[in-house]
Amino acid sequence: MSETIEQATATAARRDVSVARIFREFLIIGAISFGGAVPYLRGRLVEAEGWIDDKEFVEMLSISQSLPGLNATNLAVLVGQKLRGAPGAAAAILGMCLPGAVIMYIAGILYWEHGDRAASSAVLKGVAAAAVGLVLYTAIQLGRRSLDTRVDLIFMALTVVGVDYYHVSVLWVLLGVGLISILWHHPRRLRKAKRA
């Protein structure tokens, strides 16, 4: 009962989100998400705003990763669409991309003029290390909430081995492992297992 009330409250709160607020939130995410936006997206959309929960975030991230383009922009479109339809999606993508476009334009000019200096290389290496740390942190957080059984760990391992060791296209690995996962987690199979 309490879960139903919480879900109804969350749904009502999502409907009250304005297009301007969606733009503003994604503008902030786009401006502060150095080294990869996924950790920031989760922090703002799931933890701070409560617009989506971890399960929805993982599902949307999965869709985003299996489509062409950047995960963060794909995710922005999906969240904006969920909150306010097409205007929400447009506001989210514009807010997400605008700060990065401006910053990259300025960074490109600076790199063109000062990219061959040792300090520039040191800064880029530091940013790269921080980005890896942020992605690892997010992977651990999402893994705790998404990987329920040992079989899920096997699906994860199959994906890593397929992409990293055998150099199979991410699309084909996702399709293959996804199909196996769907067959494994099929509701009829789970019902039979509970009956036994």
Same-domain status, 47 and 108: yes
Same-domain status, 180 and 88: no
Same-domain status, 8 and 71: yes
Q: Please, are residues 14 and 83 in contact by the beta-carbon 8 Å criterion?
A: yes
Q: What is the pLDDT of residue 69?
A: 86
For each of the chain's 196 residues, which pLDDT tens digit applies? 545 555 555 554 555 899 999 999 999 999 988 767 888 899 999 999 999 998 999 999 989 988 888 889 999 999 999 999 999 999 999 999 999 899 889 888 888 887 777 887 788 788 778 878 877 887 887 788 778 788 888 998 999 999 999 999 988 998 899 899 888 887 765 556 566 5
Q: Which residue has the tokens 């994860």?
A: 156
Q: For the chain, how big is the Rg over CA atoms in Å?
A: 20
In the listed set 146, 161, 187, which residue is the last one of a domain according to the structure? 146
Q: What is the pLDDT of residue 188?
A: 61
Q: Could you tell me the two tokens for 84?
A: 């306010």
Q: What is the pLDDT of residue 194?
A: 60
Same-domain status, 133 and 166: no
Q: Domain total for the chain?
A: 2
Q: What is the pLDDT of residue 113?
A: 83
Same-domain status, 130 and 158: no
What does the alpha-carbon distance between residue 97 and residue 92 come to, in Å, rounded to a whole number?
A: 9
Residues 6+ apart with CB under 8 A from 120: 111, 114
* CA-to-CA separations, 2 to 8, 53, 133, in angstroms, rounded: 10, 16, 37
Same-domain status, 6 and 65: yes
In order, the DSSP letters of 15-60 are HT--HHHHHHHHHHHHHH-TT-SHHHHHIIIIIIS-SS-HHHHHHH
115: three-class secondary structure by DSSP: coil
* Domain extent for 88: 2-146
Same-domain status, 161 and 142: no
What does the alpha-carbon distance between residue 172 and residue 143 come to, in Å, rounded to a whole number?
A: 22
Same-domain status, 140 and 54: yes
Sign (positive/negative) of CA torsion 54, 129, 95, 93? Answer: negative
Q: What is the pLDDT of residue 16?
A: 83
Same-domain status, 129 and 165: no
Q: What is the pLDDT of residue 10?
A: 52
Same-domain status, 160 and 127: no
Same-domain status, 91 and 180: no
Same-domain status, 7 and 94: yes
Q: What is the pLDDT of residue 73?
A: 93
